[in-house]
Structure 1
Amino acid sequence: MTEITIPAKEWNELKSQILKLDEKVSYLVSEKQKETLSPKEVQKLLNIGKSTYIRYLDHKVFEQKKIKGKAYVLRSEIERLIAEGKI
């Protein structure tokens, strides 16, 4: 087996990149598992603007809940509506 030597500077840069990737992957996984979404997160997920979001609420396409005074929508409800082709 041949041994490969990597200069310390390159090794540290590589290690830094791996740590950054790990943080990003961890963030994405935690966001995917997050069940309550803010209005802005719903808008981003559905690629819609604020007026369309409000129209969906007015037409009762999905329900917005209040938790400690903040508005949220359940991710499972949005995913169900997408799967059913309703949004």
Structure 2
Amino acid sequence: MSGFRKKSSKIVVFELAQALDARVSGKEMLDNGFKGAYARAAGCYVCVRYHHTQEPSYLSIDEARRYLEWIHAGHIGPHWYLRDGISE
């Protein structure tokens, strides 16, 4: 993987982690099943988890980018909402 791609991937992970923390794992979301949400680098994937008791999901960098764009567009929810066309 090129240096630029690695740097770009780390930026996506960092931004997605911030977005999850700010938008999905916020105090108002606890009633909706989100608690301890995070994103972290996992090789060439991004590991995301929405609740501390949930098994993590692994997104490709491209999936993580699309999910980040979806969150930045004002949507709230797990990545499968984007895949299933749900907009909360």
TM over 0.5: no
Relative to its length, the structure with more helix (as a share) is: 1
Output the TM-score relative to the length of structure 1.
0.29
Structure exhibiting the larger radius of gyration computed from Cα positions: 1
Output the TM-score relative to the length of structure 2.
0.29
